[in-house]
């Protein structure tokens, strides 16, 4: 393991640091210090500033609005943003930039790249992800939303679910069944579908935290132009898998920084509640400290392999299981430290439903109770812990492959 970045990357780091010093207010403590309107306004303006300074999609080619730099420089920027407590973009950029944009660079036609990529960066198009369905989550190949060609348009009928930030989006990339007679992983097409039409209805789902961050999306004779297919018609599975490969983004570099800052907050919480001398609490804090250090080294291992040109392999699954299960352990400890006070949350709640609260967030009962509830989802989204362990069992331990019950066509396995 040797994470020494080449000199060009370190020079770029200095540039990013200078940019941050110039563009953030004096005595900036992180976006967690803001709430309500002020928070929303900051995120919108910050995203615009990143775009104007070519820092939204550092590694995209210049021809499509990127900065034309390397993926390593993208990692360096993400690290510096995490340290400064500012986001890498807006709430839908994980879908637009990280997932779809990177996938279009690999699979899109020249016309799709020229049309969509600059519009993603300018926020003219705001994207969400239409993969999961009530009967297709871990077993995504089971999906049943149908798309049928009618002249120059696809007609889409069906339902997606758990669509994060779907209420903020005006476009959805949607996996549709286009050939029911084919085996289930074939006969799927990846469509780029506008949401601003009568056939698309977004219904919010209320989460355990009381927030409504994700949604159901219903398609009733929704229309999508014939050419808005990424990859081949009926060949969408390969595109879908490429996109999932981008889902983790720079997490190996960024999460250890975020979780370390969160641990410092937890130590302050223990002191504030007079629990820092309690031997049982101290043992659990020490365990959290050790686990965050392990997370750091796991991240380094992934980065080292990647810097040497290795493809991210099963260590991505190790990292996913590790951070998401750690987050539950950490937030359970926070709840135990707060005791009854944690049951009547007060103060600024977390602004996001994912991972830790923002850097600079007050050490309030609402912050910890909110992240405690949000952490329940971490072991489900982006591949549940059980699925990650299946991957590790098969790819690392060489255990026999899981038996597949359904062979034959999708239509045969869905006959009543
Ligand atoms: C906060 C959040 C945001 C999300 N955002 C999006 C989004 O924007 N777009 C989108 O398309 N989806 C999104 N999802 C959906 C997410 O991808 C699915 O929830 C996930 O893939 C699991 O699918 P499922 O919920 O259908 O559970 P299921 O697949 O039904 O699984 C139920 C349980 O069975 C276990 N299980 C299933 N199969 C196996 C197996 N073969 N071996 C062992 N155990 C198994 C699972 O681990 C789980 O514990 C989001 C989910 C969450 C929680």
Helices (H), 108-235: 110-122
Q: Which of 131, 132, 374 to mutate to test the pocket of ligand 1 (most atoms within 8 A of CB)?
A: 132
Q: What is the pLDDT of residue 305?
A: 80
Please name the residue that has the structure tokens 């009962």: 365
User: Catalytic amino acids?
Assistant: 247
Q: How far is the CA of 130 from the centre of ligand 1 (A)?
A: 13
Residue 328: which of 378, 381, 369, 394 has the closest Cα?
Answer: 378
Which 8-state DSSP code applies to residue 171? E
Q: How far is the CA of 140 from the centre of ligand 1 (A)?
A: 9
Q: What is the pLDDT of residue 313?
A: 77
Enclosing H/E stretch for 102: helix 102-107
Q: Give per-10-residue mean pLDDT for the chain (416 aa).
A: 83 97 96 96 97 96 95 93 96 96 97 97 98 96 97 98 97 98 95 98 94 96 98 98 89 94 97 97 98 95 80 84 98 98 95 93 96 97 95 93 80 77
| Ligand 1 first shell, C-beta below 6 A | 129-132, 137-138, 162-164, 214, 353, 377, 380-381, 384, 386-387, 390, 402
**Spatial CB neighbours of 80, under 8 Å, sequence gap ≥ 6:** 13, 16, 17, 20
What is the atom index within ligand 1 of the atom nearest the CA of 135?
26
Longest dimension (CA), the chain: 72
Q: Which of 96, 162, 324, 354 to mutate to test the pocket of ligand 1 (most atoms within 8 A of CB)?
A: 162
Please name the residue that has the structure tokens 């799709």: 112
CA atoms of 249 and 107, how far apart (whole Å): 18
Say whether pTM exceeds 0.75. Answer: yes
Q: How far is the CA of 172 from the centre of ligand 1 (A)?
A: 19
């Amino acid at each position: 393991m040797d994470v020494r970045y080449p000199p060009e990357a370190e020079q770029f780091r200095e540039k990013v640091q200078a940019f941050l010093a110039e563009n953030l207010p004096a005595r900036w403590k992180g976006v967690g210090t803001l709430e309500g309107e002020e928070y929303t306004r900051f995120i919108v303006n910050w995203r615009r500033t990143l775009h104007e300074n070519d820092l939204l999609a550092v590694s995209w080619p210049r021809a499509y609005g990127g900065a034309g730099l390397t993926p390593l420089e993208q990692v360096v920027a993400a690290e510096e943003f995490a340290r400064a407590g500012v986001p890498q973009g807006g709430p839908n950029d994980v879908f637009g930039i990280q997932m779809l944009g990177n996938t279009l660079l690999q699979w899109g036609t020249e016309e799709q790249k020229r049309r969509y990529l600059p519009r993603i960066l300018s926020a003219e198009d705001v994207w969400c992800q239409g993969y999961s369905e009530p009967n297709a989550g871990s077993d995504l190949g089971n999906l049943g939303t149908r798309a049928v060609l009618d002249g120059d348009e696809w007609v889409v009928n069906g339902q997606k679910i758990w669509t994060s930030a779907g209420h903020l989006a005006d476009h959805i990339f949607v996996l549709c069944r286009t050939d029911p007679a084919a085996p289930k992983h074939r006969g799927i097409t990846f469509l780029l579908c506008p949401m601003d039409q009568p056939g698309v209805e977004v219904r919010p789902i209320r989460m355990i935290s009381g927030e409504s961050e994700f949604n159901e999306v219903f398609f009733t004779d929704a229309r999508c132009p014939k050419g808005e297919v990424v990859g081949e018609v009926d060949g969408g599975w390969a595109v879908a898998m490429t996109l999932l490969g981008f889902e983790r983004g720079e997490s190996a570099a960024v999460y250890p920084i975020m979780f370390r800052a969160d641990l410092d907050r937890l130590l302050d919480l223990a002191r504030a509640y007079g629990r820092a001398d309690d031997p049982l609490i101290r043992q659990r804090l020490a365990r959290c400290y050790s686990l965050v250090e392990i997370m750091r080294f796991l991240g380094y291992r992934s980065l080292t392999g990647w810097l040497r040109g290795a493809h991210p392999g099963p260590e991505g699954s190790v990292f996913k299981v590790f951070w998401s299960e750690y987050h539950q352990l950490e937030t359970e400890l926070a709840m135990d430290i707060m005791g009854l006070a944690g049951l009547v949350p007060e103060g600024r709640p977390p602004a996001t439903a994912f991972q830790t609260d923002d850097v600079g967030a007050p050490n309030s009962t609402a912050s910890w109770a909110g992240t405690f509830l949000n952490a329940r989802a971490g072991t489900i989204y982006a591949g549940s812990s059980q699925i990650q362990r299946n991957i590790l069992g098969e790819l690392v331990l060489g255990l026999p492959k899981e038996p597949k019950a359904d062979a034959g066509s999708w239509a045969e396995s869905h006959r009543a």
